[in-house]
Amino acid sequence: MRSPAFIALGLGFVLMGAGLFALTLIKSKPVSSLPTKAQVREQAAMVQETKKMRIASGIIIGFGVLLSLMYFS
Protein backbone atom coordinates (compact mmCIF):
# COMPACT_ATOMS: atom_id res chain seq x y z
CA MET A 1 0.00 0.00 0.00
CA ARG A 2 2.61 2.53 -1.06
CA SER A 3 0.38 5.32 -2.18
CA PRO A 4 1.01 9.03 -1.64
CA ALA A 5 -2.72 9.37 -1.01
CA PHE A 6 -2.24 7.83 2.45
CA ILE A 7 0.34 10.39 3.48
CA ALA A 8 -1.84 13.21 2.11
CA LEU A 9 -4.89 11.93 3.99
CA GLY A 10 -2.80 11.43 7.11
CA LEU A 11 -1.46 14.96 7.01
CA GLY A 12 -4.98 16.26 6.43
CA PHE A 13 -6.24 14.46 9.51
CA VAL A 14 -3.27 15.71 11.55
CA LEU A 15 -4.00 19.30 10.50
CA MET A 16 -7.70 18.85 11.21
CA GLY A 17 -6.95 17.50 14.68
CA ALA A 18 -4.53 20.34 15.35
CA GLY A 19 -7.19 22.85 14.34
CA LEU A 20 -9.71 21.23 16.64
CA PHE A 21 -7.21 21.36 19.48
CA ALA A 22 -6.53 25.02 18.73
CA LEU A 23 -10.26 25.72 19.08
CA THR A 24 -10.12 24.39 22.64
CA LEU A 25 -7.46 26.94 23.55
CA ILE A 26 -9.82 29.88 23.00
CA LYS A 27 -10.63 31.37 26.37
CA SER A 28 -14.24 32.00 27.32
CA LYS A 29 -15.47 35.37 28.44
CA PRO A 30 -14.70 36.14 32.09
CA VAL A 31 -17.49 35.78 34.62
CA SER A 32 -18.34 38.48 37.10
CA SER A 33 -17.15 38.37 40.69
CA LEU A 34 -20.55 37.00 41.78
CA PRO A 35 -21.57 34.53 39.07
CA THR A 36 -25.13 33.31 38.86
CA LYS A 37 -26.08 29.65 38.93
CA ALA A 38 -26.59 29.69 35.18
CA GLN A 39 -23.09 31.08 34.62
CA VAL A 40 -21.57 28.43 36.88
CA ARG A 41 -23.47 25.69 35.01
CA GLU A 42 -22.36 27.13 31.68
CA GLN A 43 -18.71 27.19 32.77
CA ALA A 44 -18.95 23.56 33.97
CA ALA A 45 -20.49 22.52 30.66
CA MET A 46 -17.75 24.33 28.74
CA VAL A 47 -15.06 22.50 30.73
CA GLN A 48 -16.67 19.14 29.88
CA GLU A 49 -16.96 20.06 26.20
CA THR A 50 -13.33 21.18 26.13
CA LYS A 51 -12.22 17.83 27.57
CA LYS A 52 -14.23 15.93 24.96
CA MET A 53 -12.89 18.07 22.11
CA ARG A 54 -9.29 17.56 23.25
CA ILE A 55 -9.79 13.79 23.40
CA ALA A 56 -11.38 13.85 19.94
CA SER A 57 -8.52 15.92 18.53
CA GLY A 58 -6.01 13.44 19.95
CA ILE A 59 -7.85 10.55 18.33
CA ILE A 60 -8.01 12.37 14.98
CA ILE A 61 -4.30 13.20 15.14
CA GLY A 62 -3.50 9.59 16.02
CA PHE A 63 -5.53 8.35 13.06
CA GLY A 64 -3.71 10.78 10.79
CA VAL A 65 -0.32 9.61 12.02
CA LEU A 66 -1.40 6.00 11.48
CA LEU A 67 -2.42 6.76 7.89
CA SER A 68 0.85 8.56 7.27
CA LEU A 69 2.87 5.66 8.65
CA MET A 70 1.02 3.24 6.39
CA TYR A 71 2.75 4.98 3.49
CA PHE A 72 6.17 3.94 4.74
CA SER A 73 5.32 0.31 5.50
Structural domain tally of the chain? 1
* 32 within some domain: no
Binning pLDDT at 50, 70 and 90, where does residue 49 land?
A: very high
Query: Which residue segment(s) compose the domain that 14 sits in?
Result: 4-25+37-72
d(CA 17, CA 62): 9
pTM above 0.85, yes or no: no
Collapsing DSSP to helix, strand or coil, 30 comes out as coil
Q: In this model, does residue 29 exceed pLDDT 80?
A: no
Stretch 52-60: mean pLDDT: 96
Binning pLDDT at 50, 70 and 90, where does residue 1 land?
A: low
User: Phi, psi (5° rounding) for residue 23?
Assistant: -65, -30
CB 67 within 8 A of CB 9: yes
Q: In this model, does residue 28 exceed pLDDT 80?
A: no
d(CA 27, CA 7): 33
Q: In this model, does residue 72 exceed pLDDT 80?
A: no
